[in-house]
Amino acid sequence: MEVSGWMQQALLLARRAASQDEVPVGAVVVHEGRIIGRGYNLREKKQDPVAHAEIRAIVAAAKKLRSWRLEDCTLVVTLEPCPMCLAACQQARIKRVVFGAQDPKGGALSLGYRLHEDQRTHHRFELVYDETKECGEVLTEFFKIKRKAKR
């Protein structure tokens, strides 16, 4: 499976989050061509500020590999990682991160945090914006419904 197939898997998870009234973000960790970790936002349900899709997928992948070092892994996520999640990728030694929609108000890269290429850190990794229209659409639709419900 290639990145677009993995992104489709992440989108399924994002939709699952939306069905649970969570911000629709989904993530998968891929190792040797197979998904070894999955996650979607569960901050509301768990009342956990760090229950982001990326964190949940990274934790699941680490359990699967029985190692916190995810050096040969790619994280595919529907939304640009926030600074916390980008730092988690750095700490987990993720090799590559691919995201499908930009987040101008909360995304690490959009906000100017370039931890993935900071020469002062001990691990650097590739960060790729692979625009996937559906990733933005699922978020737009979710927030449109939320705004309409507030009226």
From the candidates 22, 32, 54, 80, which is the catalytic residue?
Answer: 54
Is the C-alpha dihedral spanning 7, 24, 83, 90 positive or negative? negative
The reply to whether 54 belongs to the active site is yes
Residue 82 zone, left/alpha/beta (φ > 0; ψ -120 to 50; rest): beta
Token duo for residue 65: 């590999």
> Coil, helix or strand for 113?
coil
- The pair phi, psi for residue 135, each rounded to 5°, is -65, -45
| Cα(83)–Cα(65) distance, integer angstroms | 25
- The pair phi, psi for residue 113, each rounded to 5°, is -85, 115
* Other residues' Cβ atoms within 10 Å of the Cβ of residue 129: 15
Residues serving a catalytic function are 54
